[in-house]
Each structure stands twice: as C-alpha cells, then as structure tokens.
Structure 1
C-alpha cells in the first residue's frame, strides 16, 4: 500500500511538472525537488526501524557497534550523494552531479579505512608464519 502511495505522489508530481515546465521551469524544478524530499521524509520511519533492528542484531551477536555505525554512515553517504546528484541532474548540471558523486565515493573510501584495516589484520593473523 505504501508503494502505491509513493508511486501516486510521484506520478502526480510528474504530471504537474510537465504542465508547469513550459511556463515556469524554475517552479517545475522546485516541485520535482520538493517531491523527492517528501518521498524521502515518508521513508525515514522505515529507515529508522531497519537501523534499530540492525543495532539489536549487532548487540546480540557481540559485533562491535563501531563497525555497524560506520557501515550505516557509508550507506547514508551513498544515498545522500545519489539524491543530491539526481536533483542537480534534474537542473541540467551534469558536471556538478558528477562532482557530487565523486565526493561521495571519496568520503566512502575514507570511512571504510578502519574496516579494511581490521579485515587485513584478521587475514594476517590467519596466515601461517
């Protein structure tokens, strides 16, 4: 049912954007951006539930929460960078969108360093001397 609501909002916004675009392109862009934000806000509750479930699983399985939080931050960076790049693409700025995506990838790489370090240390411990 929720997906039907999201698609309905998206379709309605698309029709409105197409109608408004001919007369007021700036309003059409703002409407498209606002629609994306509304859909994201609609999903925050679901995202929060998933995060709490993953934290509970990590605690029950004695996984260091630092790693889980880092992975969740990485996923958040990926989603935010993608959303930002799509909004900028909608405005016709492909070059800036590419820079946003590059920045997201670099930030993800930086945040992944502690996890990669632990994986490499674990592999080295497993290797025979």
Structure 2
C-alpha cells in the first residue's frame, strides 16, 4: 500500500469516526483503532522489505550483523514509542506521552552505545 492509499485510509477513518462520534463514541474509537492497526501492519510489512535490503547490503560490505541488529532495535524503539506516545496524548495524557518519548530517547542512546564506542575507537585509531 503506497502513501496515497495510506493517506486516504487515514482521512477516511477520521471522517467516519467524526460522523459516528456524535451518535456512538465507542464505535468512533473502534474505527480509529482499526485504521491504526491497518496502517501499522502496512508499515511493518515495509520494514520487512527494508530488513531484506539491509541483509543484502551486509553481504556486500564488511558491516557486522550486530550493527544491523542495533539499527533495527532503534527503529523498533522509535516506532513503538511514537505510536504509544501519540495514543497517550490523543487520550489527554500528555505528561505520560512525553515521558514515553523521553524514555525512548534514553533507550535509543543506550542501545546505540556500542556503535558510538566503535566510532570513537575508529577515529582514535585513525588519528593515532
């Protein structure tokens, strides 16, 4: 599903949810949730394609597979944090959503520490 179809799906879900919200607010939430699930499924499917591409690139380069796994963890942390933070903020819990974003940033820094260490080691070896 390309971005145009995804955009149309999202806008259609919002319009339907707004129309239904007046009569049955619980159905509005279900419409929103269904649209989020469909869009997330398509995003995850695209990540599988990206994963295959990275595996092909690793075969051509001397890149360690551990770096690839770190990159995929960072993408996963970012995606999950963004979705959960947006849900919290949309529900009116902005403070919790902001704390999720802060935790995600710390988690990304923690996960990426081995890569940063490898970069510093490479730079110091190059300068020495």
1:49 lines up with 2:49 in the alignment: yes
Indicate the residue corresponding to 1:59 in structure 2: 59
Q: Secondary structure at the match of 1:116?
A: helix
User: In 2, Cα distance between the equivalents of 1:30 and 1:90?
Assistant: 14
Give the C-alpha shift of residue 123 in structure 1. 1.3
Indicate the residue corresponding to 2:69 in structure 1: 69
User: In 2, Cα distance between the equivalents of 1:102 and 1:26?
Assistant: 31
User: In 2, Cα distance between the equivalents of 1:10 and 1:58?
Assistant: 35
Aligned length: 128
Check the 8 A contact 1:59/1:65 in 2, yes or no. Answer: no
Check the 8 A contact 1:33/1:87 in 2, yes or no. Answer: no
Describe how 1:1-129 pairs up with structure 2 within 5 A.
2-128=2-128
Deviates more, 1:106-115 or 1:13-22: 13-22
Task: Give the TM-score of the pair, scaled to structure 1.
Answer: 0.88
User: In 1, Cα distance between the equivalents of 2:2 and 2:125?
Assistant: 48
User: In 1, Cα distance between the equivalents of 2:55 and 2:49?
Assistant: 10
Check the 8 A contact 1:13/1:35 in 2, yes or no. Answer: yes
Task: Give the TM-score of the pair, scaled to structure 2.
Answer: 0.89
Q: Structure 2: state its 5+ residue gaps.
A: none
Give the C-alpha shift of residue 50 in structure 1. 1.1
Q: Alpha carbon RMSD of aligned pairs, Å?
A: 1.7
Structure 1 residues 107 and 21: alpha-carbon distance in aligned structure 2, compared to 1, 3 A threshold: same
**After TM superposition, what 4+ stretches of structure 1 lie above 6 angstroms from structure 2?**
none
User: In 2, Cα distance between the equivalents of 1:75 and 1:105?
Assistant: 12
